[in-house]
Structure 1
Amino acid sequence: MAKQLPKEYYVKLEAIQAIDFVIYELVLYLDTHQDDAQAIQQYNYYAAYSNRLKTDFEACYGPLRFGMPVQEQPPWAWAEAPWPWQV
């Protein structure tokens, strides 16, 4: 059975997904509008915001990204975290 997660987990994860969607859309736009300074500024703002959201999420719920430091002692454990399809 899947581990029960607090509502805040889903709220934070949805915020990350929404901001990352904005970033992906800006990347697609910037592929054809490389000289748009306002879009570049927006991209940099949202990329930094996404990083802050992910750092906060990881502090509460464990690793979300590859290559990030993790705790060496319990309570961190991959097997105890929900799988992506369980979220």
Structure 2
Amino acid sequence: MEDRKRPCRRELLNWINVVSFAADDTKLFLDTHPYNQEALQCFDALKKQRADSLREYARYYGPLTLDTAASGADCWRWINDPWPWQEGGC
């Protein structure tokens, strides 16, 4: 049942790239408009979406960043899976 909920690896990685780009772009806007409330709210929402997506990716495919790396006995499991830039797909 858990595998039915498994997101497509390629689509999830693409979404992480999209939301990361949007967050970075918003952050650049905030460099020159630090008090823009709409931009601040947008940045907070994008940052949360990115963090949630990174956690979901790590859950199914292994960590992409240090923030989502596991600790303990299972911490090196991801080394056996294909790397994000290798062929994989869904």
TM-score tier after normalising by the smaller chain length: 0.7 to 0.9
Query: What's the counterpart of residue 10 of structure 1?
Result: 10
Report the alpha carbon displacement of residue 82 of structure 1 after superposing the two structures with TM: 2.7
- Hey, what's the Cα distance between the residues in 1 that align with 2:81 and 2:49? 25
Query: What's the counterpart of residue 62 of structure 2?
Result: 62
Q: Which amino acid aligns with 1:76?
A: R
Deviates more, 1:49-58 or 1:61-70: 61-70
Structure 1 unaligned residues grouped into runs of 5+ = 1-6
Q: Which amino acid aligns with 1:12?
A: L
4+ residue runs over 6 A deviation = none
Normalised by the size of structure 1, how large is the TM-score?
Answer: 0.78
How many residues of Structure 1 are paired with residues of Structure 2 in the alignment?
Answer: 80
Distance 1:37 1:83, change over 3 A: same
Distance 1:86 1:48, change over 3 A: same
Query: What's the counterpart of residue 33 of structure 1?
Result: 33
Query: What's the counterpart of residue 52 of structure 2?
Result: 52
- Hey, what's the Cα distance between the residues in 2 that align with 1:11 and 1:28? 26
